[in-house]
Amino acid sequence: MRVLVWFILGGLLACQSPKSQPPPPSPKPAPVPARPASVREAPPAYDSLYRTLADTAWVELIKWDPTFVLDIKYATTDNFTKQVLYDCGRCFLRKRVAQDLVAAHAQVKKQGYRMKIFDGYRPLAVQWKMWNATPSKSYVANPRKGSMHNRGGAVDLTLVDAQGQELDMGSPFDFFGKQAHLNYPHPAKVLANRKVLQTAMKAHHFNTISNEWWHFSHQKVYAVSDFPIPCQ
């Protein structure tokens, strides 16, 4: 019996090619890419630093809470002027305004949404360009007085769902018509979407205006500024 086993094994080894090699190892799975910056948690260093600043200091919103979605419209042609008005798509606010916005964002995230930011601080020079570009002055603050955006105290925004899709708010951003007004008789779903946003913002010291569902002004009022949005 032992002879038979050795005979069989010897035959199998003889049939193998001398150059045969063991099968190559299975390729390693590709590393899982890091989550994009827009959905990472806030870096503790920036959170700690920003909280020590004076309320009037300027901060970059996305560095305080990287889970915001940025779609800064005036850094593109996708706005009512059809012009690129900002050199880059960054959002700056006064520290107290940003802090309260981060708190409002935390509230809507518990409901499965995130905030998409369309605009924050706006240089006064850009306010003049907007003023001159529209015949409908009721939708653009007079630059002689300055807007809350020029003060770092206002934000334009909407909500997105878990797939990143914007909720139906009844009109697009920068729509200058009655459908953008808060009292327009939209379907119940639109009104419910607006209520989620308004409830969170009002709970954290922001006020609405009657003709733009996307605009919220902080209750604190700061001085007008005109520095260009920094892009470095």
Q: Which residues pair with residue 116 across a beta bridge?
A: 69, 158
Which letter does DSSP use for residue 139 in this model? G
In whole angstroms, what is the distance from residue 118 CA to residue 200 CA?
17
Catalytic residue positions? 212
Q: Which of 84, 89, 46 is closest to 71 using CA atoms? A: 89
Which letter does DSSP use for residue 166 in this model? B
What's the order of all strands across the beta sheet hosting 69-70?
69-70, 114-119, 154-160, 212-218, 206-209
Angle between helices 188-202 and 95-109 (to 10 degrees): 130
Strands 114-119 and 69-70, how do they pair? parallel
Q: Which of 40, 11, 3, 223 is closest to 121 using CA atoms? A: 223
In whole angstroms, what is the distance from residue 7 CA to residue 22 CA?
23
Q: Which single residue is written with the structure tokens 């951003």?
A: 173
- Number of C-beta neighbours around residue 191 at 10 A: 15
